[in-house]
Amino acid sequence: MTCGLAAAALANTNTDRAPAELERLVLQDCGSCHGLTLKGGLGRPITPDVMQHFDREDLRDIILDGIPGTAMPPWRQVMTESEAMWIADYLQGRER
């Protein structure tokens, strides 16, 4: 079972979304599983203090390809690699 996603409504146009739209995607779509404050829910916490310990490229790949056998779905069909990297940086609290 995967989290409820609004991703189906997001068409992959192969153009990068604005940071505000990506932030909204994290808070709403990721938050639907990881908690509205990103401190955990069905999915693990994805707050900067937790995410800073991960390699940003690994986070990008998890965002794009999901985690098989878990509720973490792949997002590759609905976002670009640079959008996934922006989200990885955002989750780690990096300056964007």
Q: pLDDT tens digits, the chain, 96 residues: what are they?
A: 444 444 433 444 456 899 999 999 999 999 999 999 999 999 999 999 999 999 999 999 999 999 999 999 999 999 999 999 999 999 999 865
For the record, the structure tokens of 30 come out as 């990721």
Tell me how crowded residue 64 is: count the other CB atoms within 10 A of its CB.
Answer: 20
pLDDT score at 14: 52
Scan for tokens 């401190």, then name that residue.
39
Are 90 and 23 in contact by the 8 Å Cβ rule? The answer is yes
Q: Are 12 and 77 in contact (CB under 8 A)?
A: yes
Q: Spell out the domains of the chain, with CATH numbers in brackets.
A: 17-91 (1.10.760.10)
